[in-house]
Amino acid sequence: MKKILVANRGEIAIRVMQTVKKMGIKTVAVYSTVDRNAPHVKFADEAVCIGEAPSNESYLRADKIIEVAKKLHVDGIHPGYGFLSENADFAELTEQNNIIFIGPGSEAIKIMGSKLAAKDAVKAYNIPMVPGVDKAITDVNKATRIAKDIGFPILIKASAGGGGKGMRIVEKESDLESQMQRAISEATSAFGDGSVFIEKYVTSPRHIEIQVMADKHGNILHFFERECSIQRRHQKVVEEAPSSVLSPALRAKMGEAAVKVAKSCNYVGAGTVEFLIDADHNFYFLEMNTRLQVEHPVTELITGVDLVELQIRVARGEKLQIRQEDLSIKGHALELRVYAEDPVNDFLPSVGKLSTYKIPVGSGIRVDNGFEEGMDIPIYYDPMISKLITYGKTREEAILLMIKAIEDYQIEGVQTTLAFGKFVCEHEAFRSGNFDTHFVKKYFSPKALHQKSEYEAEIAALIALKQYLSDQKLLRLPN
């Protein structure tokens, strides 16, 4: 491959292009009119505008992206994550035009894109799954019978879903009908597919995912786990690797299960197998994400592997040169997704101009960034500004460095999740490792954040007063 087009924007476009350039390959960026002066456009060797600001007129226009790729004699397309990254038709269209899609084949994307098809595919491999029904259901009476069978609480999930859409927790029978209609309606609106299914709701769950990489020669590796339990609205905000709850034996068992999931759909490239772990450390298969994950940097830091480079090597037909026994965990890494969201106002998007924007620097600090000072946060896309990642020899070191990095990160003009990230890192439940996916519900509130800010301001004022009195004393000392 001599030239790769990155069909994405922001921090992930830059992060992919950094590796592409390191490999001596030319880069092509695509952009919408609102992103004309964005950093990813400036970073690329070539850049082409593909449409207006709304993503359905630009970054989701597969036809325009292919047109640009052919015109500029591109050899491969890297989709990043989001947008067209898990679109089987786009993967197929890319291959039909003799361009390498840097991701899995369209068939694997189709299978794993449907939670029901995914469950069906992995059945033969005896991978543990949450008790429930593995067929789409719309009949409320039938749903009630199933729910009574497996026992409340239950979880209604959209088959084509993700990001918490089309998902409802039902605690009692009387709520089932209304919650089911809502889930179907939301799934239809978000994915054009109203299929939902029912499974047992795992109380006190941890969300653990395993990174896998598979080549075209039948080799599949796992790169250990990521802990993704700190979430708001079923979406991750803080991730870390490794998890504080996995024993070496459980880690090996889950890694083997993840490799089997990849085998079940003849997977090629980077993928993530997601699991739930209950309070007794039993694990259950959730789904597979057929792309690079937002949180991939924490895996790169603990394994010393560039996952994007491996994606590209695998896509061009190379055999994986690493063996499973070559891989080991070194140190600990933490990632905070820095969103332009207001934690005090239910994490709603906060758009505006970045009047001040200075990122933290230093040993053990990595910022995958897509913005510059003076830029506006567009309303058209996901409000993630950057990813702040810290690495230490121990979990405690990574956490302390994250707190310092958050304090050094200067952003004015919009509200962000920085204060929330600090709240998490300083909370006893997180520090002790004794938390689950209900962390936000259990411990976080706007009031708690306000109280913390007031306490910190009080401490700062006392320190300043002490320093002032000390200075005055020195000034009054006789010569």
Per-10-residue mean pLDDT for the chain, 479 residues long? Answer: 98 98 98 98 98 97 98 98 97 97 97 91 92 84 90 90 82 92 89 88 94 98 98 93 97 98 97 95 95 98 98 98 97 98 93 97 98 96 97 98 98 97 97 96 84 60 70 63
- The answer to whether residues 405 and 360 touch, using CB atoms and an 8 Å cutoff, is yes
β-bridge partners, 47: 29
Distance CA 340, CA 347 (A): 9
User: How far apart, in Å, are the Cα atoms of 132 and each of 151, 271, 394?
Assistant: 10, 25, 39
Whether domain 131-200 has CATH 3.30.1490.20: yes
The domains of the chain are located at 3-102, 131-200, 206-446, 448-479
Residues 6 or more apart from 132 whose CB is under 8 A from it? 146, 150, 154, 155, 197, 198, 199, 200
Q: Which long-range contacts (CB under 8 A, 24 or more apart) does 180-189 make?
A: 180/140, 180/143, 180/156, 183/156, 183/157, 183/158, 184/138, 186/158, 187/158, 187/159, 187/160, 187/161
Two structure tokens written together for 174 = 């009387």
- The answer to whether residues 292 and 19 touch, using CB atoms and an 8 Å cutoff, is no
User: Catalytic residue numbers?
Assistant: 291
pLDDT of residue 474: 65
- List, in sequence order, the alpha helices (H) in 139-273: 140-150, 176-191, 248-264
**Are 131-200 and 206-446 equal in CATH topology?**
no
Distance CA 225, CA 259 (A): 12
Neighbours of 422 (CB within 10 A): 21
CATH superfamily for 206-446 is: ATP-grasp fold, B domain (3.30.470.20)
Distance CA 222, CA 214 (A): 9
Residue given tokens 């830029």 in the structure block: 375
- The answer to whether residues 312 and 318 touch, using CB atoms and an 8 Å cutoff, is no
Q: What is the dihedral of CA 240, 227, 292, 374, to 10 degrees?
A: -50
Fold entry, domain 3-102: Rossmann fold (3.40.50)
